[in-house]
Structure 1
Amino acid sequence: MPNKSNKQGKPPTEAEEDLLHELRIYQIELEMQNEDLRAHQIELEMQNEELLRARTGLEASRSRYLNLYEFAPVGYLTLNSEGEVIEINLTAATLLGEEQNNLLNRYFVDLIAPEDCDRWYLLLQNLLQHEGEKKNIELMLKRGDSDFHARLDYLSVVDEDQTLLRRITLTDISESKHAEQELRIAAVAFEAQEGIMITNANKVILRVNQAFTDITGYSVEELVGQTPHLLNSGRHNAAFYAEMWEYINRTGSWQGEIWDRRKNGDIYPKWVTITAVKDSNGVVSHYVGLHTDISARKASEEEIKQLAYYDPLTALPNRRLLLDRLQQALATSSRNNKYGALLFIDLDNFKSLNDNLGHDMGDVLLQQVAQRLIACVREGDTVSRQGGDEFVVMLEELGDHAEEAAAKTKTIGEKIITSLNQPYQLSHHEYQNTPSIGITLFINHQHSINTLLKRADIAMYGAKAAGRNTLRFFDQDMYEAVMARAALEADLRFALAKNQFQLYFQRQVRNGKIIGAEVLLRWKHPERGFIAPLEFIPLAEEIGLLIPIGQWVLENACVQLKRWQAHQQTRHLQLAVNISARQFHQTDFTEQVCAMLKKNVIKADRLKLEFTESLVFDNIDDTIAKMQALKKIGVSFSMDDFGTGYSSLIYLTQLPFDQLKIDQSFVNNIGIKPVDTVIVQTIIGMANNLGMDIIAEGVETQEQRTFLELHGCHTYQGHLIGKAMPLAEFERFFGL
């Protein structure tokens, strides 16, 4: 640097130059220091940047760690030595369905499903004995209102403060458990009772279960590698299988009944369900077939059908199947406008066969009748058994005109009568039986099924009324008669309860003196007035009312005898009461009579019981026992309508009868028919020889009475001395 002059232009002094030199050196040092300061500052700035980068990296690393911990694919929990949760990640909290803060400081046992709590305590004891070892356990844990399967990886550790901690890794294994369960179910299902076959897409058998081998009889080795054609029975044609596989490939599955062949050659029915299994590309990879042997079920169905629709004794269609076929026949008749017919067939006197030879023989007869009926009709006709000895034959396609149909039906009906009249061989017995047949025609839907059956039934009763062993077609007059009878039957059922019955009394006289009366039943209908006994007594017996009605008559007769015992004029009177066979053969009939006599405190000899010959000899041992028991207490007996039956004199001498009553049919012919006149004389002589009293009924003329008295019969009853009359009129003869 050039020297400068001072202000006066003088050159600087040496001192000034030294000072200037020092100043320049100081300036250079300052500049160097500034340079160092700038360099240090740059270094500091660089260090700050490095620290910042380090801090940022550390924070990023910590954040990554926290994310890895919180959002790990498994849950992490840390328990203290007391079993409290002191640390838990977000994954574990999510698995448990709770907020993290709500889980801290909670006992881990509170997070376990109740059914696994006891198991946890047992596991915990084992875990405490193996501190420091990693253990895997499975528990059911709570998740809100539900539970889930969890796997716990458990490890106990000691931290730097020597504190015992339990680290738990938590994994939800519900799906794997479910899959495992599904596999077990599939395994069990595969070995179930239902046969299973699995084939590839080419229908080659890959696998079968034990049930399939049991059903088919083939072993696994014999089936694998074959096709289902091995089982083909031949019952289904190629078109059937082509249609089946077309349906499977179009819809994915098919089910239906197939007949297959077992290894032993047996052909059997089975129910098959075939399902196509497709891969991820929708291409069929396998077929799974479920095979159920339904041969037993088919047999059961056939048996049920047989029981439901066929009579077990004769194997004929029963009423249910008849109704079904009749419904179809009416529909067919409506389409082709042709007549059909119903024939209602009832065997005459079938009950007597059962009673005499037993029900087993009756069953044999019914079976033979069934075969004969089948032989009498055409192939398309129906022969049905309705129950008991009743059969129904349904004929179809009988023609367009009623006259033609009736003629064809009559021909078949007469053929049936001829066939059923032929002798039957019942074991060692040859037996003959006759039918009564009722017929009604049908066409279109003019009448309901029930109406048709009712008409045929009514016509059958018309055949019975005509003498049996014949046929009758339904007509309206017959219908009206049956309806009237049904109305009478309905009224008769209530007559006793409504006190519509009355007792009438017909005097019995000996040598001109009234010795008693026969009690006769009368029914006074509220609308029809008095109905004749011959009209309602058989009906009462048919519908099972004869026993209660007979008991009512006997009870009221005893009541009347008690009243008469209180009066001098009537205490000697005896009442004769008619007893039916059904009433007499009740097991407790003797006890009933004794109870009535005791209740009314009457003399037993004032009661006379009248029996018909058919009652006496129907069950001779029972008759003798009961008559002797009642005879001991004083009850007397009279045989009614004597001479009209087939009395056995041997039995007659064993029975304690007091009296024989000559039937009015013989009395009416006295002096008119010599044979009947002789019969009357014979009966009187027989009674006298047997030491019995004799009484004649139906005495209407003086000539009849004179003849009877002349030949030794002095006791009689009939219109000559008085008809049957009400009680008040009867008692007027005695001044009561």
Structure 2
Amino acid sequence: NRRLLLERIELAMIQAKRKNTYGAIIFLDLDRFKMLNDSLGHHIGDELLVQVANRLRKAVREEDMPTRLGGDEFVILINTNADAIDDATNNALNVAEKVMQALNQPYLLKNNEHYFSASMGITLFSGTCREEATELIQQADTAMYQSKEKGRNTISFFDQSMQEAADKYLQLENSLRIAVDQQQFVLYYQPQVDLDGNILSAEALIRWMHPEKGKISPLDFIPIAEETGLILPIGSWVLQEACRQVKEWHRQGLGLSHVAVNVSSRQFQQQDFVDQVKQAIQDADISPSSLMIELTESILIDNVLVTAAKMQLLTELGISISIDDFGTGYSSLAYLTRFPLSQLKVDQSFVRHINQNSNDAVIVETILAMAKNLGLNVIAEGVETEQQLNFLVEKGCTIFQGYYFGHPAVADEFGRHR
């Protein structure tokens, strides 16, 4: 199939040159196909692919060529019959939308109706195009992933800026692998304070010290680390380094109640995660109560029984657990009462506008009241102004974190200002 498709694309490029017209390639990938395979079995997945292929043949025109590349990936070669790029774009989009409409209809699988969607990417080519057929397919594939990032079940066009973004991603991924091998990371610590501004604890925040680009924000590399699995060695290093620093501060006489460490979903889901935490504490020779694990709300809904059991093991060791960015995800009283939590962390997106946005103010006030009734501590992050602080104090918040009290700093600097 692939060889025939490549031959057809090359032929279409020759025709486009001869007629001075545009051709197009649609790359589509079924959304959440893996979930279907995992839940209903591969034989049902195969049946879905057969139905999808039949719908594609009916949805496209006779002169278009739909091909299954493999798995749940399909490519459609289109002759737009247009000599202007705007017309070619519209013609390709019309075909894609017709395909999408066909694929969005219910599928009968095991006598039950199921709904599936597809993410699509489109690239155009003319007779003057210098790319090979394989490069054109890759362009459409890149555009398809842009559709995935937009939320799936949508159509995106390839352009040079998209390619540049993909190149930047690959370059960053390669650099990140080197950073893991060469330990180019540093932990910064941001103070967490009480009503009087006394430092109670700190949050460990990773920074990547790139030898050429300087300090790189975690916002730029953590998503890539998550997707590639590099988050596992990075997360392990953060845990060990934070515990080592706790021991050093104790030796210097700095009496922090604990250091909070962010743990990703992928890291937490490792079978031996509790053992990793236990080992880091033992290696550093610190009390388990000196460590707090910060988890995001999304982790709570991933395999609830296993998650609750793992969290229980951590609390039995003496480790506190905090829910980070609370209020942005799957907040539910039912979830909160099922897990052995110590603290909720109000997300800074709510704190930022509490003095201007009444909805944010109500959300923060509700979280504080709910936590009090559940016997949980609350820390507000992102406190930057006195007005924000006054509002939080008035509503009963007693622990704070943000630029108003201190910026993240390396361990030595943090210790000096302590």
Relative distance call for 1:561 and 1:358 in structure 2 (3 A) is: farther
Preserved CA contact (<8 Å) 2:27 2:76: yes
Q: Distance in 2 between matches of 1:361 and 1:573?
A: 54
Aligned residue for 1:668? 352
Aligned residue for 2:243? 558
Relative distance call for 1:397 and 1:655 in structure 2 (3 A) is: closer
Report how far residue 449 of structure 1 moved. 1.7
The one-letter code sitting in structure 2 at the alignment partner of 1:421 is N
Do structure 1's residue 526 and structure 2's residue 211 form an aligned pair? yes
Q: Distance in 2 between matches of 1:728 and 1:388?
A: 52
Relative distance call for 1:502 and 1:418 in structure 2 (3 A) is: same
Q: Distance in 1 between matches of 2:178 and 2:408?
A: 25
Q: Distance in 1 between matches of 2:356 and 2:132?
A: 56
Relative distance call for 1:659 and 1:363 in structure 2 (3 A) is: farther
Q: Distance in 1 between matches of 2:326 and 2:40?
A: 28
The one-letter code sitting in structure 2 at the alignment partner of 1:414 is E
Relative distance call for 1:698 and 1:388 in structure 2 (3 A) is: farther
Alignment map for 1:220-369 (pairs within 5 Å): 317=1, 319-331=2-14, 333=16, 338-354=21-37, 359=42, 361-369=44-52
SS in 1 for 2:81: coil
Range moving further from structure 2, 419-428 or 536-545 = 419-428
Alignment map for 1:614-633 (pairs within 5 Å): 614-633=298-317
SS in 2 for 1:566: helix
Report how far residue 371 of structure 1 moved. 2.0
Q: 2:98 aligns with which of 415, 418, 436?
A: 415
Q: 1:653 aligns with which of 331, 337, 346?
A: 337
Report how far residue 335 of structure 1 moved. 5.7
Alignment map for 1:384-533 (pairs within 5 Å): 384-396=67-79, 398-427=81-110, 429-444=112-127, 446-511=130-195, 512-533=197-218
Q: Distance in 2 between matches of 1:458 and 1:540?
A: 19
| 1:662-694 superposed Cα distances (whole Å, 9 cap, x missing partner) | 111121221322222122121111111111111
Report how far residue 526 of structure 1 moved. 2.5
Q: Comparing both chains, which one has the higher relative contact order based on Cα–Cα distances under 8 Å and sequence gaps of 6 or more?
A: 2
Deviation above 6 Å: which 4+ runs of structure 1? Answer: none
Q: Distance in 2 between matches of 1:712 and 1:399?
A: 66
The one-letter code sitting in structure 1 at the alignment partner of 2:297 is E
Aligned residue for 2:404? 720
Aligned residue for 1:34? none
| 1:545-583 superposed Cα distances (whole Å, 9 cap, x missing partner) | 111111111111111112122122x24341101111111
Report how far residue 368 of structure 1 moved. 2.6
Q: Distance in 2 between matches of 1:467 and 1:321?
A: 32
Report how far residue 363 of structure 1 moved. 3.9
Q: Distance in 1 between matches of 2:320 and 2:65?
A: 57
| 1:58-83 superposed Cα distances (whole Å, 9 cap, x missing partner) | xxxxxxxxxxxxxxxxxxxxxxxxxx
Relative distance call for 1:678 and 1:338 in structure 2 (3 A) is: closer
Do structure 1's residue 381 and structure 2's residue 64 form an aligned pair? yes
Aligned residue for 1:184? none
Q: Distance in 2 between matches of 1:617 and 1:474?
A: 35
Once superposed, what is the RMSD of the aligned Cα atoms?
2.3
Relative distance call for 1:412 and 1:695 in structure 2 (3 A) is: same
| 1:364-422 superposed Cα distances (whole Å, 9 cap, x missing partner) | 43333222212111234322222333211112473555444333222111111222222
* Aligned residue pair count: 416
The one-letter code sitting in structure 2 at the alignment partner of 1:463 is S
Preserved CA contact (<8 Å) 2:249 2:415: no
Preserved CA contact (<8 Å) 2:80 2:91: no
Do structure 1's residue 711 and structure 2's residue 378 form an aligned pair? no
Report how far residue 492 of structure 1 moved. 1.6
The one-letter code sitting in structure 1 at the alignment partner of 2:130 is Q
Range moving further from structure 2, 384-393 or 423-432 = 423-432
SS in 1 for 2:131: coil
The one-letter code sitting in structure 2 at the alignment partner of 1:680 is V
Q: Distance in 1 between matches of 2:370 and 2:287?
A: 29
Gaps of 5+ in 2: none
Do structure 1's residue 702 and structure 2's residue 386 form an aligned pair? yes
Preserved CA contact (<8 Å) 2:29 2:144: yes
Q: Distance in 2 between matches of 1:597 and 1:414?
A: 55
Preserved CA contact (<8 Å) 2:297 2:323: yes
SS in 2 for 1:721: coil
Range moving further from structure 2, 390-399 or 695-704 = 390-399
Q: Distance in 1 between matches of 2:356 and 2:397?
A: 19
Report how far residue 358 of structure 1 moved. 5.4
Report how far residue 351 of structure 1 moved. 4.3
Range moving further from structure 2, 618-627 or 518-527 = 518-527
| 1:143-191 superposed Cα distances (whole Å, 9 cap, x missing partner) | xxxxxxxxxxxxxxxxxxxxxxxxxxxxxxxxxxxxxxxxxxxxxxxxx
Do structure 1's residue 690 and structure 2's residue 374 form an aligned pair? yes
Gaps of 5+ in 1: 1-316
Aligned residue for 1:157? none
Higher CA-based Rg = 1
The one-letter code sitting in structure 2 at the alignment partner of 1:564 is W
Aligned residue for 1:548? 233
Alignment map for 1:549-588 (pairs within 5 Å): 549-568=234-253, 570-588=254-272
Alignment map for 1:66-215 (pairs within 5 Å): none
The one-letter code sitting in structure 2 at the alignment partner of 1:646 is Y
Q: 2:285 aligns with which of 562, 579, 601?
A: 601
Q: Distance in 2 between matches of 1:496 and 1:552?
A: 9
Report how far residue 447 of structure 1 moved. 1.9
Aligned residue for 1:591? 275
Do structure 1's residue 535 and structure 2's residue 220 form an aligned pair? yes
Range moving further from structure 2, 480-489 or 429-438 = 429-438
Q: Distance in 1 between matches of 2:33 and 2:391?
A: 44
* TM-score, scaled relative to structure 1: 0.53
Aligned residue for 1:166? none
Relative distance call for 1:333 and 1:365 in structure 2 (3 A) is: same
Q: Distance in 2 between matches of 1:579 and 1:388?
A: 33
Report how far residue 621 of structure 1 moved. 0.8
Q: Distance in 1 between matches of 2:358 and 2:22?
A: 57
Aligned residue for 1:239? none
SS in 1 for 2:234: helix
Aligned residue for 1:110? none
Relative distance call for 1:582 and 1:334 in structure 2 (3 A) is: same
